[in-house]
């Protein structure tokens, strides 16, 4: 959603979104803040709009795998940098997507 809101709209897109420019900006700013680790709050009406947009967004299995792999790499970096664990001890598995059971997952193993 953040990438969509940050994308250049062009003249026609700008005109089409003129009526909800303030709402789009509030949602974009909240998502950008979340991406940096902050916990911003949205007005209830803006949260409702964000939920509707997110519910209408389709995400491919490849996109979910990419997201899961990026999150696993972030966790690995946090364990190495923040906890001093040797990177060679951390093994990341291939992301698996099972839409029937829920969110994408990556197996992470710590070796001895």
The model's pLDDT over 11-65, given as tens digits with 9 standing for 90+, comes to 444 455 545 778 888 888 898 898 888 888 889 999 998 888 888 888 888 888 8
Same domain, 35 and 73: no
Same domain, 41 and 68: no
Angle at 12 between CA 10 and CA 14, to 5 degrees: 65
Same domain, 48 and 67: no
Q: Map tokens 């710590």 to a residue.
A: 110
pLDDT of the residue at 14 = 45
Q: Which domain holds residue 49?
A: 2-56
Query: Pairing between strand 108-110 and 90-92?
Result: antiparallel
Same domain, 29 and 70: no
Same domain, 102 and 73: yes
Same domain, 8 and 31: yes
Same domain, 16 and 47: yes
pLDDT of the residue at 7 = 67
Q: How many domains does the chain have?
A: 2
Contact at 8 Å (CB) between 94 and 66?
A: no
Q: Judge whether residue 72 has pLDDT over 80.
A: yes
Same domain, 16 and 32: yes
How far, in Å, CA of 93 to CA of 19, rounded? 46
Q: Judge whether residue 81 has pLDDT over 90.
A: yes
């Amino acid at each position: 959603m953040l990438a969509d809101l940050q994308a250049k709209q062009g003249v026609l897109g700008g005109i089409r979104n003129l009526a909800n420019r303030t709402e789009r900006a509030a949602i974009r700013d909240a998502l950008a803040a979340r991406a940096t680790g902050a916990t911003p709050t949205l007005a209830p009406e803006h949260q409702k709009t964000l939920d509707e947009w997110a519910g209408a967004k389709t995400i491919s299995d490849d996109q979910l795998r990419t997201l899961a792999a990026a999150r696993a790499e972030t966790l690995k970096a946090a364990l190495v940098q923040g906890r001093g664990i040797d990177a060679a001890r951390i093994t990341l598995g291939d992301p698996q997507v099972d839409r029937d059971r829920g969110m994408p997952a990556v197996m992470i193993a710590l070796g001895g």
